Amino acid sequence: MLTKRIIACLDVDGGRVVKGVQFLNLRDAGDPAELAFAHSKAGADEIVLLDISATAEQRKTLLDTVRRTARELFIPFTVGGGVRTLDDASAVFDAGADKVSINSAALSDPGVITCIAERFGSQAVIVAIDAKLTNGGAYEAFARGGRTPTGRDAVDWSREAESRGAGEILLTSMDRDGTGKGFDCELTRAISDVVRIPVIASGGAGVAKHFVEVFQEGHADAALAASILHYGVTELADLKQELAAAGIPVRWPC
Amino acid sequence: MTIAIVDYGAGNLASVKKALDWLGQDSIVTSDAGQVAQAEKVIVPGVGHFAATKTLDQRGLKDAIETAINRKIPFLGICLGMQWMFASSTEAPDVAGLGVFPGECVHFPASVKSPHVGWNQLHLLGKSRLLGDLPSESFVYFTHSYRVPPVQDTVATCEYGGIFSAVVERDRLFGVQFHPEKSGPIGVKLLQNFCGLKC
């Protein structure tokens, strides 16, 4: 049976994994290559590396990090953050990534989705959507790391991203991100039910039960685990066993 | 003595090369027909549209692969490379496959999300030199929208919107619909089995 995926997410700044402590300070949490390998060994189904600084001068560092991380990683590996053009994507693929995640660049020029998909295949293109609930009850897509409202309806945007060649949607609830209160199942379901491509839910995971909810009620195909894993990689095993006990198909043991 | 990983512009071939490097196996990524025809073993990877396999014809690579196969060397098709080993695909009806396995590649039914992305299980039907002693129901990573129905040479199936061929094998010809280079220790073991096959 096709399993629900748990994707370990590493935020990288200047070649190191960083994590927020109480959402304030960024603290060094280790070497990306070592952590990716540890997560993979512990049962992560995929690894996502997000370049949170993504400044021009750090691109070289990032590519070097991607290369080192990819070397011993034999599960799918996605890189996001600052990927704006086909050339950016090519460089990241050359360094060993299997997929790129694009967000702001796709919003300002949706043609870039098609451009990368035609060259590397749709399976290699994840469109990341940061969505926030508006007063009207709809979800709006935000650009630039959640800083810039776009006026675009997130559900409409997900359909357009699909039609332009996206292979997956990485959907982050800005309302839930960092709260630990659980995924936004309503948002996830609203998008998962209207697209034919897999939806990866992100934002709000605090306990294992939240993953059960987003798979059962949110109809997610995969879920991103970030801060929940930073307390110890062995917890991935606990998470997967809890999912299995709830009747969710997972890759376990792996 | 080296493994030729055939480059025909269909997706990212670095990950297959990387896995073979990690296994300490000598390999080259090449689009040179001469190198392919002379190789000790040949791998055709690839993701994307079936029409991309037309390039194999245009660059003389199809002939080179047939020459290599006639020398009885082990051959492995991965994902699109496996689909290309069949006669045809409804994705590009005017493009002929290699045709070493009979059958046609078809799209997943509308009843399931497509592409089929993620980890799914292999159901073993019989003995396989490629799979060796890997247990049935092992998890491997798939990403594809078209699939081949089970045929006589299918040695492992997978279930998603119906049963389809996950591994085909006959003599020295092998095809896998999933990505061994992305399937963790199980996939690495499979590649190791392939590397260890004698000509």
- Region B148-156: mean pLDDT is 97
Task: Read off the tokens for A248.
Answer: 């969710």
Of B19, B47, B117, the CB nearest to A198: B117
- Number of domains composing chain A: 1
| Residue A252 counted as domain residue | no
Please state, for a pLDDT cut of 90, what percent of chain B lies above it.
87
Q: What local confidence, expressed as pLDDT, does residue A54 receive?
A: 67
Q: Is 0.85 exceeded by the ipTM?
A: yes
Mean per-residue pLDDT over chain A, rounded: 90
Q: What is the DSSP letter of B128?
A: -
Q: Is the pLDDT of residue B94 over 50?
A: yes
Contact A124 B120 (CB under 8 A): no
Please state, for a pLDDT cut of 70, what percent of chain B lies above it.
98
Cβ neighbours for A168, distance < 8 A, ≥ 6 positions apart: A99, A125, A126, A127, A197, A198, A199, A200, A221, A222, B117
| Residue A202 counted as domain residue | yes
Contact B115 A167 (CB under 8 A): yes
- Region B50-63: mean pLDDT is 91
- Region B75-93: mean pLDDT is 95
Contact A96 B18 (CB under 8 A): yes
Contact B182 A254 (CB under 8 A): no
Q: Is the pLDDT of residue A212 over 80?
A: yes
Contact B48 A121 (CB under 8 A): yes
pLDDT-derived band at A24, boundaries 50, 70, 90: very low
A122 touches chain B (CB under 8 A): yes
pLDDT-derived band at B9, boundaries 50, 70, 90: confident
Q: Is the pLDDT of residue A44 over 90?
A: yes
Q: Are B167 and B174 in contact (CB under 8 A)?
A: yes
Q: Is the pLDDT of residue A22 over 50?
A: no
Q: CATH number, domain at A162? A: 3.20.20.70
Omega cis (within 30) before B149: no
Q: Are B194 and B130 in contact (CB under 8 A)?
A: yes
Contacts of B113 in chain A (CB under 8 A): 196-198, 221
Which tens digits make up the pLDDT trace of A180-199? 899 999 999 999 999 999 99
Give the mutation candidate from A4, A45, A98 for the B interface (greatest B CB count, under 10 A): A98
| Residue A254 counted as domain residue | no
Active site members of B: 79, 179, 181
A251 touches chain B (CB under 8 A): yes
Q: What local confidence, expressed as pLDDT, does residue A25 receive?
A: 54
The residue of chain B nearest to residue A47, with distances taken between CA atoms, is B182
Q: Give dist(CA A195, CA B115) in Å, integer.
A: 11
Chains A and B form CB pairs within 8 A to the count of 86
The residue of chain A nearest to residue B144, with distances taken between CA atoms, is A123
Which tens digits make up the pLDDT trace of B97-115? 999 999 999 999 999 998 9
- Region A19-48: mean pLDDT is 79
Give the mutation candidate from B53, B79, B83, B119 for the A interface (greatest A CB count, under 10 A): B119
Contacts of B116 in chain A (CB under 8 A): 2
| Residue A228 counted as domain residue | yes
| Residue A250 counted as domain residue | no
| Residue A9 counted as domain residue | yes
pLDDT-derived band at A231, boundaries 50, 70, 90: low
| Residue A123 counted as domain residue | yes
Active site members of A: 11, 130
The residue of chain A nearest to residue B47, with distances taken between CA atoms, is A121
Question: Between residues 131 and 190 of chain A, which touch chain B (CB distance below 8 Å)?
Answer: 167-168
Alpha helices in chain B (DSSP H): 14-22, 33-38, 54-58, 61-70, 80-84, 184-195
The neighbouring-strand residues paired with B156 are B124, B167
pTM reported for the whole predicted model: 0.94
Label residues A196-212 b or e (16+ Cβ within 10 Å = b).
ebbbbbbbbbeebebbb
The residue of chain B nearest to residue A93, with distances taken between CA atoms, is B12
pLDDT-derived band at A27, boundaries 50, 70, 90: low
Please state, for a pLDDT cut of 90, what percent of chain A lies above it.
71
Give the mutation candidate from B7, B113, B136 for the A interface (greatest A CB count, under 10 A): B113
Contact B11 A168 (CB under 8 A): no
Contact A74 B187 (CB under 8 A): yes
Domains (ranges, CATH) in chain B? 3-195 (3.40.50.880)
Q: What local confidence, expressed as pLDDT, does residue A232 receive?
A: 54
A38 touches chain B (CB under 8 A): no
Range(s) of the domain holding residue A22? 5-245
Q: Which residue has the higher pLDDT, A126 or A57?
A: A126
Contact B18 A98 (CB under 8 A): no
Q: Is the pLDDT of residue A43 over 50?
A: yes
| Residue A40 counted as domain residue | yes
- Region B43-71: mean pLDDT is 91
Q: What local confidence, expressed as pLDDT, does residue A26 receive?
A: 60
- Region B38-67: mean pLDDT is 91
Taking alpha carbons only, the member of B145, B47, B164 closest to residue A196 is: B145
Q: What local confidence, expressed as pLDDT, does residue A121 receive?
A: 87
Q: What local confidence, expressed as pLDDT, does residue A230 receive?
A: 65
Task: Read off the tokens for B145.
Answer: 């929208």
